[in-house]
Amino acid sequence: MALYEAVIGLEVHAQLRTRSKLFCSCSTAFGAAPNTNVCEVCSGMPGVLPVPNARAVEYAARMGMAVNCTVNPVSVFARKNYFYPDLPKGYQISQFETPICEHGHLDITVNGQTRRIGITRIHMEDDAGKNIHSAGDNASYVDLNRSGVPLIEIVSEPDMRSAEEAVAYLKALHAIVVYLGVCDGNMEEGSFRCDANVSIRPKGQQEFGTRAELKNLNSFRNVQRAIEYEIARQQDVLEDGDAVVQETRLYDAVKNVTVSMRGKEEAHDYRYFPDPDLMPVRIAAEDLARWRADLPELPQARRARLMEQHGLSEQDAEVLTADRALADFFEAATAVCGQPKKVSNMMQGALLRELNQRAVTVDAIAMRPEALGELVRIVEAGLISAKIANDIFGELLESGAMPEAFVKERGLVQISDTSAIETAVDEAIAENPAEVEAYKGGKTKLISFFMGQIMRKTKGKANPALVTELLQKKLG
Amino acid sequence: MTTISTEQVAAIARLARLAPDEAQLETFARQFGDILGYMEMLNGLDTTGVEPLYSPVQHATALRPDEAAPRCTREDVLRNAPEADQEFFIVPRIV
């Protein structure tokens, strides 16, 4: 069996986080009642004129800067012509020959290997509406609320060689759009979506194989699974002596397969031409300079800084910088207690667990980073045990209470008074003569049994280090 | 002289959801060829170093501040649709 290499390029659509649409003042709010954010422009009435949204242009340019693109001071909107009921104008306004950004790149690291993924271009375009298909009657229903919403399409070079690399690239892009605040990154609502061009070729061959375009990849996991499936499918096709067909394939997440949608013979000829309703977009040099000057620290740079400044492992730094709010939370909490590794552990343990359980993000909770920092501090100072901290975490997260006051009020402060612990230790020893014998006979693992007994008697408040010390002395 | 085949005209017609008959295909093929042939005169000019002109209008792009404001009611938007209910445009089933 020949050894194959996959060649993958991604086309990522990110919805720009503007209030209004790309060419009209209709709201971009998600989830509004059908056809309530629609006007003459975004419903394709004759005689209307599109007027570009200044913020969309700014966001597209900022994204280009963040991924090392050249931002073209002049870019041109073009019409991409095709018919579909969710496209009332009969064409999408996109950019073709002269997109706003070109020639960028992004470095990704997979299995300790850093690779540079080229970014061919980033262009602005308006989104289509939404078709809803009824099972009952012989009709489709069209909602144009999304029609005209601003998108950027980020087109990569075919530089990725595995599903892992594709996911790493996609995650890196996702982190950047969210850091910049140009896109909310919500994949379920379709604010950030991805098509993948996948082909395979015998290892060592220069020419690309025939590619399939995969659609409907609406989560990182689906991107991974769909590409893996598609690579295996194309290998089977070639192994059987058949040829891969150039086509669009839809990923079915439930069955974990890709299914042919349309072949090349039906491939579109979009007949792009410059949109005569729109002048070329000109960006002033001062604006470009200003946007460049206030680019925020990006995830990769921040990850490197957290590793350098706080001694975090690469993996910890990656988890904490995946979300800007999470990284901000980490830095604020660390500033309070000066214990970056403990803060990182508590965030990746208790905090992420509680967030996942509630399906919320860190900026939506009552707990302030100062509270988490204080919690780390009082655990380290021996005021409460790590177990108690873990037990009360959910309540602190919900209430926003400051931990020190909270544990004092609840009487959860750890018992570090030797005489109080000694009583509990003596009781435990007196009540369990058989275990005492066994321990003395060499079953030293029973120390955790005694620990459990004593913790029960003290409601988890005994200082574990003191308990161990006393137990060893008395059983020794 | 540019020649356009009837097959090319048929392909373009298909993209525009038009179904011309044989006689029309012939007519359009000849007309397309004439128009493109006329435009070919431009290829005789040396345009080295000349920036492409996308529009005879030369003023700067008019951009709009990002402010959302409702313009139309749903009733207005759906009014001219060949078929609609109170919420949606309705089209023949597409999948």
The Cα of A8 is separated from the nearest Cα of chain B by a number of Å equal to 29
Predicted TM-score (pTM) of the model is 0.79
pLDDT at A27: 96
CA distance A177 to chain B (A): 19
Ranges assigned E (strand) in A183-235: 192-202, 212-217
Residue A134's pLDDT is 78
The token pair at A125 is 């375009």
Q: How far apart are CA A210 and CA A23, in angstroms?
A: 37
Please give the pLDDT value at position A413: 79
Asked if A37's CB is within 8 angstroms of B89's CB, the reply is: no
Report the distance separating Cα A114 and Cα A315, nearest Å.
15
| Beta-carbon contacts of residue A125 (< 8 Å; ≥ 6 apart) | A22, A80, A92, A93, A94, A95, A150, A151, A152, A153
Within 10 A of B35 (CB to CB), how many other CB atoms are there? 12
pLDDT attached to residue A223? 94
d(Cα A367, Cα A333) in Å, to the nearest integer? 11
Task: Print pLDDT tens along chain A (476 aa).
Answer: 458 999 999 999 999 999 999 999 999 998 899 999 999 999 999 999 999 999 999 999 999 999 999 999 999 999 999 889 999 999 999 999 999 999 999 999 898 899 999 999 999 999 999 999 877 788 999 999 999 999 999 999 999 999 999 999 999 999 999 999 999 999 988 999 999 999 999 988 889 999 999 987 889 999 999 999 999 999 999 988 888 888 889 898 888 888 888 655 555 789 999 999 998 999 999 999 999 999 998 988 899 999 999 999 988 998 898 888 899 999 999 999 999 999 999 999 999 999 999 988 898 899 999 999 999 998 888 888 888 899 889 999 999 999 988 888 887 777 777 787 888 888 889 999 998 989 888 888 888 899 898 888 888 888 888 888 888 888 87
CB atoms within 10 A of CB A405: 10
Mutate to test the interface with B, among A19, A141, A271 (most CBs of B within 10 A): A141
Residue closest to A157 by CA, chosen among A192, A106, A233 = A106
Q: Which two tokens stand for residue A405?
A: 């006051």
pLDDT reported for residue B29: 95
Q: Checking DSSP bridges between strand A247-252 and strand A212-217, what pairing results, if any? A: parallel
* Partner-chain contact B88 A142, CB within 8 Å: yes
Of A24, A35, A276, the CB nearest to B87: A35
Residue A412 is predicted with a pLDDT of: 77
d(CA B47, CA B40): 13
- pLDDT at position A23: 97
Contact assignment for A18 to B64 by CB distance below 8 Å:
no
Q: Report the pLDDT value the prediction gives residue A37, as an integer from 0 to 100.
A: 96
Give me the DSSP letters along A269-328. Answer: ----EE-TTSPPEE--HHHHHHHHHTPPPPHHHHHHHHHHHH---HHHHHHHHSSHHHHH
pLDDT of residue A266: 54
Residue A300, Cβ neighbours under 10 Å: how many? 17
Query: Between B60 and A272, whose confidence is greater?
Result: A272
DSSP for residue A53? B
Q: Which helix (H) or strand (E) holds A438?
A: helix A433-440
Sheet bearing A130-133, strands edge to edge: A130-133, A139-143, B89-92
Q: Following DSSP, what letter does each residue of A70-119 receive, concatenated?
A: EEPSEE-EEEEE---TT-TTSEEEEE-SS-SEEEEEEEEEETTEEEEEEE
Distance from CA of A242 to the nearest CA of B (A): 29
The complex's ipTM? 0.87
Interchain proximity A20–B72, CB inside 8 Å: no
> Residues of A with CB below 8 A from B77's CB?
35, 38-39, 43, 144
Contacts of A53 in chain B (CB under 8 A): 63-64, 66
CB A11 within 8 A of CB A195: yes
**Mutation for testing the B interface, residue in A22, A38, A266, A277 having most B CBs under 10 Å:** A38
